[in-house]
Structure 1
Amino acid sequence: MTFALYERTKSMTDVYLFNMAIADILFVLTLPLWAVNYAADKWIFGDFICKMTRGIYAINFSCGMLLLAFISVDRYIAIVQATKSFKFRARTLAYSKLICLVVWASSILISSSSFLYSESYSFSTNETKEICDHRFDRMSESTMLKSLLLCLQVGFGFFIPFMFMIFCYTFIVKSLQQAQNSKRNKAIRVIVLIVAVFLVCQVPYNIVLLVTAVNMGKLDKSCDNDKIMAYAKYITEAVAFLHCCVNPVLYAFIGVKFRSYFVKIMKDLWCMRYKKYNKRSSRTNSDLCHSRQTSEILTDNASSFTI
């Protein structure tokens, strides 16, 4: 709401964060389905919901991480290349929207296999139960496609964003250390926290995915090893899910400007509610809200929520 209702010119990072919020919200909406699935120990929602749930998760995973990579690049240009940043036409708002469009299109294309091959079917171990997972017709096709999916997920969900973030934030920290700014230490701490949270949340899950891809197709696997890998995947996947919930704190609410505009929108919504239930004083209340909003806009010359 804060990004959508903020009508002034946004920076590229603001546009990226707006799109990342959309991707995270889509993913969070699927969490109740997974909660029911784990609680009931079976999938009860059918094929269509299975395809949509796994497809949305795959889109969020690649889209969110790619947007984090572009955010780090934008911050690199704004801080390290500050004297040249005005010459970069790539930092225009129209270009950032084009980048987001390409990111969404790429994520949907990469995730298309989740929509095509995910389905609800009966799986028999000790007992028969319905599960929601990828399903292929032939064993060779299954091994090859699953390996490809895991490689794409690890590549776009970890390695590409990680390389961009390490490169960009390393030079950003060096530039901040040379700057004489009272907010320098706070900015460095925020960057270190962003990278640390990314590693803690994503490294365990991607290690499990890599081990799964390496062991896929081997005939000497035991049931005990399969159970261990299954439990490891559930635990590390839950930690990876946590990253989506931490993103708003790390990239939005930690910024003073974002918090101030968020509070302003909440106050404006309260004014609208007050106007609805108290028509007699609605005109005066509306004028007060408009006056406060105008004064806040005039006193803030920044064009970005980020610190």
Structure 2
Amino acid sequence: MNSTEAYYYLDTAFYSVPTADQPCSLEEVRQFTRVFVPIAYSLICVFGLLGNIMVVMTFAFYKKARSMTDVYLLNMAITDILFVLTLPFWAVTHATDTWVFSNVLCKLMKGIYAVNFNCGMLLLACISMDRYVAIVQATKSFRVRSRTLAHSRVICVVVWLISVIISSPTFTFNEKYQLQGRDVCEPRYRSVREPITWKLLGLGLQLLFGFFIPLLFMTFCYLFIIKTLVQAQNSKRHRAIRVVIAVVLVFLACEIPHNAVLLVTAVNTGKMNRPCSGEKLRAYVGNVAEVLAFLHCCLNPVLYAFIGQKFRNYFMKIMKDVWCARRLKKAPGFLCARVYSESYASRQTSEITDNDNASSFTM
């Protein structure tokens, strides 16, 4: 592969990277990823599905999405579910060192992966802004949020559309093709005149919408939220502040390494005289950082849903009703039937009295 042809391909941790003189073999990295990545992706897929399916079930059967935060949380859980469902395909690819599926599935999996990752990040920004309005602008909160609640679903649709648009290069350029004797599912830019420009555009959009915009919203909103909570005369404020700090720190810990690698990749794009040792280090760090970023979708249900007392109570009602329903099938009894009935009545009462300004940070 000469230096001109190399521009048409995206550098990955799977294959050798062209330098000025000769390809830099990344076989050591491939041996590492054959073991590490499939195990990590499998665990993220299992726990991500469990946590986010629980969130969707809770909204579907008990806590109706009646506040803006509820709508955002439900959409974020859906995006996380769709995202983790793509991970088994990449786990197989890393384990076998080749893309064993079709070209259509290649485009579909890459596209779903990109759309849902970007959508999840943008929804975090929406949640941050909604929490800012509900807590910092508390006096205006009811009027503003009641007026905009009807549009929350429209906001989510817009977020999904933006995610699809910024992910369109992923659908366009990713395809299955032969590279160094292997079938790969990676971007190929032979159909455009300026391949490096298109690659940089894709990386730039991913960095902007997948990190910098959510980071900007979270930093602005949560700084004012913490300031408001510190000034509030509320016995629960210290726990609420800890929740806010945990949300921000987890986001930074999961996303900064991955986006730093993307930034380094963007800076080095098109350079053909990169040292082999540096490329190996970037490949190792890139794989670990990517796994860390994907771990965020497992933590979202804990940070944004189950950490709230009201949401936990709804989920416990699900567990209680499921247990009672199973007991009633095996051994019908008055006690379990009464518990089930009381749980159902409590659910109905809770749904009626639940107010629209309930916060995820209310413990």
TM-score, normalised via structure 2 length: 0.77
Cα distance, 1:137 vs structure 2: 1.1
Distance 1:138 1:232 in 2: 31
Say whether 1:263 aligns with 2:316.
yes
Say whether 1:212 aligns with 2:268.
no
Alignment partner, residue 184 of structure 1 = 237
Say whether 1:49 aligns with 2:105.
yes
Q: Which runs of 5+ in 2 are unaligned?
A: 1-56
Q: CA contact under 8 A between 1:258 and 1:305: conserved in structure 2?
A: no
Paired residue secondary structure (1:84): helix
Alignment partner, residue 44 of structure 2 = none
Distance 1:84 1:223 in 2: 58
Between stretches 114-123 and 196-205, larger displacement belongs to 114-123
Write the deviation string for residues 21-42 of structure 1: whole angstroms up to 9, x where unpaired: 0000011111111111111122
Task: Give the counterpart letter for 1:83 in structure 2.
Answer: T
Alignment partner, residue 293 of structure 1 = 344
Paired residue secondary structure (2:138): coil
Alignment partner, residue 61 of structure 2 = 5
Change (3 A) 1:197 1:185: same
- Among 285, 293, 302, the residue aligned to 2:354: 302
Cα distance, 1:296 vs structure 2: 4.3
Say whether 1:158 aligns with 2:211.
yes
Say whether 1:175 aligns with 2:228.
yes
Alignment partner, residue 48 of structure 2 = none
Alignment partner, residue 67 of structure 1 = 123
Say whether 1:28 aligns with 2:84.
yes
Distance 2:296 2:154 in 1: 25
Alignment partner, residue 294 of structure 2 = 241
Task: Give the counterpart letter for 1:302 in structure 2.
Answer: D
TM-score, normalised via structure 1 length: 0.91
Q: CA contact under 8 A between 1:12 and 1:91: conserved in structure 2?
A: no
Distance 1:188 1:221 in 2: 45
RMSD, matched Cα: 2.2
Distance 2:117 2:146 in 1: 25
Distance 1:139 1:95 in 2: 39
Distance 1:186 1:123 in 2: 53
Cα distance, 1:178 vs structure 2: 0.5
Alignment partner, residue 143 of structure 1 = 196
Q: CA contact under 8 A between 1:257 and 1:305: conserved in structure 2?
A: no
Cα distance, 1:284 vs structure 2: 8.6
- Among 236, 242, 250, the residue aligned to 2:303: 250
Task: Give the counterpart letter for 1:292 in structure 2.
Answer: S
Identity of aligned residues (%): 55
Paired residue secondary structure (2:270): coil
- Count of aligned residue pairs for this structure pair: 302
Write the deviation string for residues 69-98 of structure 1: whole angstroms up to 9, x where unpaired: 010100000000000112215654321111
Say whether 1:77 aligns with 2:133.
yes
- Among 256, 264, 272, the residue aligned to 1:203: 256
Cα distance, 1:139 vs structure 2: 7.2
Distance 1:228 1:299 in 2: 54
